[in-house]
Chain A
Amino acid sequence: MAEAILEIEGLTKRFGGVLASDGISLALPRGELHALIGPNGAGKTTLIGQLTGEIAPDEGRIRFDARDVTALPVYRRSQLGLARSFQIASLFPEFTALDNVALAVQAHAGHSFRFWRDARREPRLREPAHDALMRAGLAARADVAVTELSHGERRQLEIAMALATRPRMLLLDEPMAGMGPEESTRLLEMLRQLKGGITILLVEHDMDAVFALADRISVLVYGRIIASGAPAAIRADAAVREAYLGEPDEVRQETWNG
Chain B
Amino acid sequence: MSEWRRACRESWRDSGSPRVVVNAALLIVLALVPVYAAVAGDPFATILFSRILIMAIAALSLNLIMGFGGMVSFGHAAYLGIGGYVVGILAKEGIGSGFVQWPVAVAASAAYALAVGALCLRTRGVYFIMITLAFAQMAYYVASGLDRYGGDDGLTIYHRSQFDALDLNNATVFYYLCFGLLLASICLVWRIVNSRFGLVIQGARSNEPRMRAIGFPTFRYKLVCFTIAGALCGLAGALLANQTNFISPALMHWTRSGDLIVMAVLGGMHAMFGPLIGAMAFLLLEQGLSHVTDYPDLILGPVLLFVAIYVNGGIDGLLGGARRG
Q: Which residues of A contact B (CB under 8 A)?
A: 52, 54, 73-76, 78-79, 83-84, 86, 90-95, 99, 103-104, 106-108, 112-122, 125, 161-162, 165
Contacts and interface: CB of A to CB of B under 8 A. Distances in A.
A118 B194 contact: yes
A107 to B, nearest CB: 4
Given A79-B215, A119-B194, 4 more contacts: A75-B218, A99-B199, A119-B196, A121-B3
Q: Which 4 A-B pairs have the closest CB atoms?
A: A78-B215, A107-B215, A112-B196, A92-B206
Given A74-B212, A91-B207, A115 B195 contact: yes
Nearest to A90: B210
A9 to B, nearest CB: 24
Contacts of B194: 118-120
Contacts of A165: 214-215
Given A92-B206, A93-B206, A103 B213 contact: no
Contacts of A120: 194, 199
Interface residue tally on B, bucketed by range = 20 to 34
A121 B214 CA distance: 21
Given A112-B196, A114-B195, A78 B212 contact: yes
B311 interface: no
18 contacts: A74-B209, A75-B211, A76-B217, A92-B206, A94-B206, A103-B199, A103-B211, A106-B199, A107-B214, A112-B196, A113-B224, A114-B197, A115-B198, A118-B3, A119-B194, A119-B196, A122-B196, A165-B214
B213 A90 contact: yes
B221 interface: yes
Given A73-B212, A78-B212, A92-B203, A116 B217 contact: no
Contact of B196 (A73, A76, A104, A114): A114
A118 B193 CA distance: 9
Given A115-B195, A117-B195, A117-B196, A95 B206 contact: yes
Contact of B209 (A90, A106, A114, A162): A90
B192 interface: yes
Interface of B: 3, 7, 191-192, 194-200, 202-203, 206-207, 209-218, 221, 224
Nearest to A52: B213
B203 A115 contact: no
A161 B214 contact: yes
A115 B191 contact: yes
A90 B224 contact: no
Contacts of A104: 214-215
A75 B220 CA distance: 12
Contacts of B212: 73-75, 78
Nearest to B218: A75
Contacts of A73: 212, 217
Given A103-B199, A106-B199, A121-B3, A75 B192 contact: no
Contacts of A106: 196, 199-200
A78 B213 contact: yes
A54 B210 CA distance: 11
B189 to A, nearest CB: 10
A120 B209 CA distance: 22
Contacts of B210: 86, 90-92
A116 B190 CA distance: 9
Nearest to B216: A107
Contacts of B196: 106, 112-114, 117, 119, 122, 125
Given A90-B209, A121-B3, A112 B216 contact: yes
Contacts of A83: 214
A90 B211 CA distance: 10
B198 A119 contact: yes
A112 B214 contact: no
A119 to B, nearest CB: 4
Contacts of A93: 206-207
A79 B224 CA distance: 21
Given A90-B207, A92-B203, A115 B197 contact: yes
Contacts of B202: 95
Contacts of B224: 113
A113 B213 contact: no
A108 to B, nearest CB: 6
B44 to A, nearest CB: 38
